[in-house]
């Protein structure tokens, strides 16, 4: 037991936990048996009844997925849509804003320095086609966004939107997004929040943050299936979006020459979706709600800090996570081995970690060319963390393998 989380029960409910020490939850977490069963059961139902017919039979459960996601985000169900990925959610909202006239030539788009590649690439593409420009907001010495610089940028000329990352994918700092949101609200500038690495490992309250858009994925800390994501759109902002790729799931064809977008976030929806994985995501979200985001954050934070202490005690190991608040992402480098060598040795020992390269976060001036990234979740154990540290230590020249 750990507080409200029974770790042994969680491991027993996670088939993969018995076969691998999975410390790559920032990439994709291990799902529970319940999530797996929900996906498989609906695929079987489709094979027996037909895809449309099976979807009709579970329509109430699909509605419940959005309701659960809304509870997790602190929003209303009509403000959330399930997508195929975080990137799809970001594209729908960002391009929806641009196509709706929200981004024009001469506008600036503000972005923080821990922006992830798929989000920043979309900003570059929007700017290339609208004539807007990106202004990168400086970071403080600890790597978090400089709020004074953000406030100054918001007040100096036209700003179409501010794009802020909650948790960086390449090191474990947590940005002060509530403070950034307050600055954006005061300036009347829409805030687009990247919650891809935060939702599921810590509380994310879109009302408290004050964002107009928030996006996330299902496969990371939520422990949902791959191919799922979430998009939140503030109800007062949705009418400003004219999303690309509209169809029967996002608009009504009113007559031969006209259509009407659906209200709220639903205008960003898709008709053709994987109902099975959406149901699996719903089971995963309900499990997060059952355990409680605060309890999860406490357990994840404790494990991550324990791993940082163990690594910092080794000569020649540097931990790169900054910020006064840190997440479950732990990044480090070794003097005597490359990140790729660490990842290979860990995999050989039955431990999943990954390497994160500078190409995924080019704006972070403190980001090394590559780091080892370990990301424990609440179902991991200190024994697994210590096994990783043994692998790292054994890579030192002259040491024997554990």
Confidence of residue 2 (pLDDT cuts 50, 70, 90): very low
Residue 88 backbone phi and psi in degrees, to 5: -60, -40
Q: Does the pLDDT value for residue 112 go beyond 90?
A: yes
Give the mean model confidence (pLDDT) for residues 311-336: 94
Give me the domains of the chain, ranges plus CATH numbers. Answer: 7-31+292-394 (3.90.1150.10), 34-290 (3.40.640.10)
Quote the tokens at residue 385: 């963390």
- If you average pLDDT over every residue of the chain, what do you get? 95
Q: How far apart are CA 229 and CA 161, in angstroms?
A: 22
The backbone region for 40, taken as left when phi is positive above 0, alpha when psi lies in -120 to 50, beta otherwise, is: alpha
Q: What per-residue confidence (pLDDT) applies to 3?
A: 55
Q: Are the C-beta atoms of 77 and 63 separated by less than 8 Å?
A: yes
pLDDT tens-place string over residues 43-65:
999 999 999 999 999 999 999 99
What pLDDT shows up at residue 171? Answer: 86
In angstroms, the Cα distances linking 156 to 127, 148, 150, 187, 188 are 19, 13, 10, 10, 13
Rounded distance between C-alpha atoms, residue 157 and residue 305, angstroms: 41
Pairing of β 80-83 and β 229-233? antiparallel
- pLDDT value at position 400? 56
* Confidence (pLDDT) at 360: 77
pLDDT at 401 over 60: no
Q: CA-CA distance, 231 to 74, in Å (whole number)? A: 13
- Residue 1: its pLDDT value, please? 45
Helix (H, G, I), strand (E, B) or coil at 213: strand
Q: Are 223 and 32 in contact (CB under 8 A)?
A: yes
Report the alpha-carbon distance of residue 85 to residue 378 in Å, rounded: 23
Strands 330-334 and 370-374: antiparallel
Question: Within a 13 Å sphere around the CA of 204, how many CA atoms are in the beta-carbon half?
Answer: 31
């Amino acid at each position: 037991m750990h507080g409200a989380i029974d770790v042994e029960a969680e491991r027993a409910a996670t088939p993969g936990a018995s076969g691998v020490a999975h410390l790559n939850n920032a990439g994709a977490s291990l799902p529970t048996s319940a999530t797996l069963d929900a996906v498989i059961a609906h695929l079987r139902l489709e094979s027996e009844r037909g895809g449309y017919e099976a979807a009709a039979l579970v329509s109430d459960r699909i509605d419940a997925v959005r309701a659960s996601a809304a509870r997790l985000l602190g929003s209303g169900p009509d403000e959330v849509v399930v997508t195929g990925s975080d990137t799809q959610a970001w594209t729908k909202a960002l391009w929806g804003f641009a196509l709706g006239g929200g981004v024009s030539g001469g506008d600036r788009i503000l972005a923080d320095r821990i922006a992830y590649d798929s989000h920043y690439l979309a900003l570059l593409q929007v700017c290339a086609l609208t004539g807007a420009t990106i202004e990168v907001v400086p970071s403080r010495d600890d790597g978090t966004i400089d709020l004074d610089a953000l406030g100054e940028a918001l007040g100096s000329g036209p700003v179409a939107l501010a794009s802020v990352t909650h948790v960086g994918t390449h090191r474990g700092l947590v940005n002060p997004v509530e403070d950034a949101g307050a600055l954006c609200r005061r300036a009347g500038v829409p805030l687009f929040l990247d919650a891809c690495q935060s939702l599921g490992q810590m509380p994310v309250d879109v009302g408290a943050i004050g964002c107009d858009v928030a996006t996330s994925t299902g496969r990371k800390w939520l422990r949902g299936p791959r191919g799922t994501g979430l998009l939140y759109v503030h109800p007062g902002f949705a009418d400003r979006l004219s999303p690309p790729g509209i169809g029967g799931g996002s608009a009504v064809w009113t007559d031969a020459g006209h259509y009407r977008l659906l209200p709220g976030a639903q205008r960003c929806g898709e008709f053709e979706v994987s109902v099975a994985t959406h149901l699996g995501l719903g089971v995963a979200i309900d499990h997060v709600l059952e355990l409680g985001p605060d309890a999860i954050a406490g357990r994840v934070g404790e494990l991550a800090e324990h791993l940082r202490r163990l690594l910092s005690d080794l000569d020649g190991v540097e931990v790169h996570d900054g910020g006064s608040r840190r997440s479950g992402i732990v990044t480090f480098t070794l003097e005597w081995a490359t990140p790729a060598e660490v990842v290979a040795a860990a995999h050989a020992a039955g431990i999943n970690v990954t390497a994160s390269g500078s190409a995924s976060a080019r704006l972070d001036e403190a980001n090394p060319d590559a780091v080892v990234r370990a990301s424990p979740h609440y179902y991991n154990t200190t024994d697994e963390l210590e096994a990783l540290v043994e692998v790292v230590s054994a890579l030192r020249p002259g040491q024997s393998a554990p």
